[in-house]
């Protein structure tokens, strides 16, 4: 009986932890549903934690101005001569003698001075992921390939706090664009039909004249003999 009680107690703790995780996850997700024209739109806004890793020790590398060709130590954001942004050079600069070393070097090749070991600094941040479900077609603001219209729609949604207006404007623009494409396709079809009729008339003309011309040439050859 004691063992059963312990197992039940552990199961209860696991269930509570899963419940807390689900509640925390639901806090970071908001869902908006819209019906605009003939489109059913569902917008999911999810706040995710992002972990970024960066070099804690950056002083071993040096920075260079591409315009003045001058070297600077870390901590200086712009060139002191021309005021332009600096570029990090992936070479270690010895703090003792100033010699430039390969990044894999642990000691300076000139003075044999040691370099500090690089440590990783973990920074936690957050990002907002938007998912649009438009009639079962999914779009995300994190997708690498997005057309300009969809990219602008995501920016407008964020700036207007996920209101309905940007979606209505996008649907209206999309419908107008679809109508324009339909009219353009109809016009192209009409032009292709006219071109095909013109070509068929020309082909028929040659198909009729060519045998007549051949017969005339044969008759001339025959009478010439």
Looking at residue 49, its pLDDT comes to: 81
Contact 8, 94 (CB under 8 A): no
Looking at residue 147, its pLDDT comes to: 78
H-assigned helices in 47-120: none
Looking at residue 43, its pLDDT comes to: 92
Say how far apart CA 47 and CA 27 lie, in whole Å: 9
Q: What is the pLDDT of residues 104-138, one digit of tens each?
A: 888 899 999 888 776 666 677 778 899 999 888 89
Average predicted confidence (pLDDT) for the chain: 78
Domain spans, the chain: 57-118
Please give the structure tokens belonging to residue 16: 């509570």
Mean pLDDT across 190-201: 82
Closest CA to 120 of 51, 50, 48: 51
Rounded to 10 degrees, what is the CA torsion of 82, 87, 92, 98?
A: 0
Q: What is the pLDDT of residues 143-167, one digit of tens each?
A: 877 777 888 889 999 888 888 999 8
Contact 29, 42 (CB under 8 A): no
- Within 8 A by CB and 6+ apart from 156, the residues are 166, 169
Q: What is the pLDDT of residues 181-195, one digit of tens each?
A: 666 677 778 778 888
pLDDT at 171 over 70: yes
Angle at 196 between CA 193 and CA 202, to 5 degrees: 145
Is this model's pTM higher than 0.85 or not? no
Q: What is the pLDDT of residues 22-79, one digit of tens each?
A: 554 567 889 999 888 888 899 999 988 877 665 544 567 888 898 888 888 777 778 8
């Amino acid at each position: 009986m004691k063992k059963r009680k312990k197992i039940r107690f552990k199961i209860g703790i696991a269930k509570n932890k899963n419940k807390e995780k689900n509640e925390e996850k639901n806090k970071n997700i908001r869902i908006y549903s819209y019906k605009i024209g003939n489109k059913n739109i569902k917008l999911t806004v999810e706040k995710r934690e992002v972990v970024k890793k960066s070099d804690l020790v950056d002083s071993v590398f040096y920075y260079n101005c591409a315009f003045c060709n001058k070297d600077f130590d870390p901590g200086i954001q712009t060139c002191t001569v021309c005021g332009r942004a600096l570029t990090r050079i992936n070479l270690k600069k010895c703090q003792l003698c100033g010699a430039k070393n390969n990044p894999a070097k642990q000691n300076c090749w000139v003075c044999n001075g040691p370099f500090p070991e690089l440590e990783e600094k973990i920074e936690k941040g957050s990002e907002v992921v938007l998912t649009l479900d438009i009639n079962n077609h999914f779009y995300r603001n994190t997708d690498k390939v997005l057309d300009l219209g969809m990219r602008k729609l995501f920016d407008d949604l964020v700036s207007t706090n996920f209101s309905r207006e940007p979606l209505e404007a996008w649907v209206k623009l999309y419908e107008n664009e679809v109508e324009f494409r339909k009219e353009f396709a109809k016009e192209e079809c009409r032009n292709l039909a006219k071109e095909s009729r013109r070509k068929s008339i020309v082909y028929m003309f040659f198909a009729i004249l060519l045998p007549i011309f051949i017969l005339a040439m044969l008759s001339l050859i025959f009478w010439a003999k």
